[in-house]
Structure 1
Amino acid sequence: MFFLIKYSVDWWNTLHQPASAFSLSDEAPNPPEVWVPLVIMIIAIYLFFAVSLILSTRNEILERERRAQWVQDLVEAQQKYNYD
């Protein structure tokens, strides 16, 4: 299905612009003012996903191990650091 959609743009070019929206050539319809924010936001989304995954994994480990001594020591150390 994707094959048909992609190449239909080339076959019926009177209805659509050329399939160069993802091209970095000089004839590309999108200038660098479009590409730079796009690349920045793609990187930002990947970084946000990675940080969210790491933090949720950390929280899951702490929740599962909440009765372990090392977790209780960690909580006590954080409380001492935050309230003194």
Structure 2
Amino acid sequence: MIKRPNKLPIISRQVCANINQNNILKIERFNRKINVTTDNEDYWYYGKMDHIEPLLNQVFYRCMDGCFLNMDRIESVADQTVVFD
């Protein structure tokens, strides 16, 4: 089993950060921009989902082409609505 770091690097003109993956709720793509939603903040930067996937832990599920969900943080799913803890 490959051991992956528990941090996701975010690099843009506005911010450079290493985000703890346990704090990430979801990662979405909007056109060419990636939105990483955490407990406290949204991080936006240009990138590709295929470049992020190898960096993520196994708790992330790629539910669509442009979306990863942190399965450990999901409380419920109903009628295509996801509720996080």
TM (norm. structure 1) is 0.20
**How high is the TM-score relative to the length of structure 2?**
0.20
Q: Relative to total residues, which structure has the larger strand share, 1 or 2? A: 2
Higher relative contact order (CA 8 A, sep 6+): 2
